[in-house]
Amino acid sequence: MAIEIKRCTLEDIKTLQKVGRETFYESFKDQNSPENMKAYLEKAFNLEQLEKELANKHSQFYFVIVDKEVVGYLKVNVDDAQTEKMGKEYLEIERIYIRQTFQKYGLGKCLFNKAVEIAKALNKKKIWLGVWEKNENAIGFYEKMGFVKTGSHVFYLGDEEQTDYIMVKTLEG
Ligand SMILES: CC(C)(COP(=O)(O)OP(=O)(O)OC[C@H]1O[C@@H](n2cnc3c(N)ncnc32)[C@H](O)[C@@H]1OP(=O)(O)O)[C@@H](O)C(=O)NCCC(=O)NCCS
């Protein structure tokens, strides 16, 4: 399988919207109401919102492409683009999503390694993320990648208040 990781630009916005919506929906549809899911998808993945995020110089999006098909994506934030005030030492992985049929082939790890590469290039010391407490699969993956739980914060899916664990990994070297 030919794997490519490509930085997204404004030209990719429609593809980003599609992969963003589809991967979020397939990951969380079974554990959330259709109304809350619809509200979140509209808020988080409308073109105006994505345009703003793509234009933010402290955020970066990447596609993972397998045999020319976009099968997942990564979003990282630094400085004030982070969704919590974690400060200058940290890079946030805000989104890391692989389409269901492509999971468990090492692609999540490819995107994670990309995040580490960006963090090191920017002289960051730590990577952090928020993960839904019920997302056991992702928590297992993050633990395997060396993250540890350090706290929690609130996340809204539509009008439902959910708890996200905050997990942190300290970079070596
Ligand atoms: C979480 C996610 C990104 C992981 O990506 P993936 O491509 O399935 O994982 P990989 O195949 O790259 O796994 C890398 C390593 O982690 C391990 N791993 C993966 N999932 C695991 C789990 N649930 N528990 C323990 N280890 C796990 C793999 O065995 C592999 O180990 P290795 O390096 O020794 O071979 C992917 O499952 C996904 O997109 N899930 C849905 C969306 C989601 O929940 N995103 C996170 C939102 S916070």
The pLDDT tens digits of the residues spanning 118-158 come to 999 999 999 999 999 999 999 999 999 999 999 999 999 99
User: Which ligand 1 atom is at minimum distance from the Cα of 98?
Assistant: 39
User: Which ligand 1 atom is at minimum distance from the Cα of 131?
Assistant: 48
CA pair distance 89, 10, nearest whole angstrom: 28
Expressed in angstroms and rounded, the spacing between residue 81 Cα and the centre of ligand 1 is 25
CA pair distance 100, 137, nearest whole angstrom: 12
Report whether pLDDT(173) > 80: no
User: Which of 157, 155, 145, 44 lies closest to 165 in space, CA to CA?
Assistant: 155
Say which of 105, 142, 156, 165 is annotated catalytic. 142
Whether 73 is catalytic: no
At residue 102, what are phi and psi to the nearest 5 degrees? -105, 5
CA pair distance 28, 168, nearest whole angstrom: 23
The pLDDT tens digits of the residues spanning 30-87 come to 999 999 999 999 999 999 999 999 999 999 999 999 999 999 999 999 999 999 999 9
Instruction: Select the CATH number that applies to the domain covering 3-170 from these four: 3.40.50.2300, 3.40.50.300, 3.40.630.30, 3.30.70.2740.
Output: 3.40.630.30
**Domain edges within the chain:** 3-170
Which residue matches tokens 């990282």?
Answer: 76
Pocket of ligand 1 (CB under 6 A): 27, 96-98, 103-109, 131, 135, 137-138, 140-141, 144
User: Which ligand 1 atom is at minimum distance from the Cα of 97?
Assistant: 39
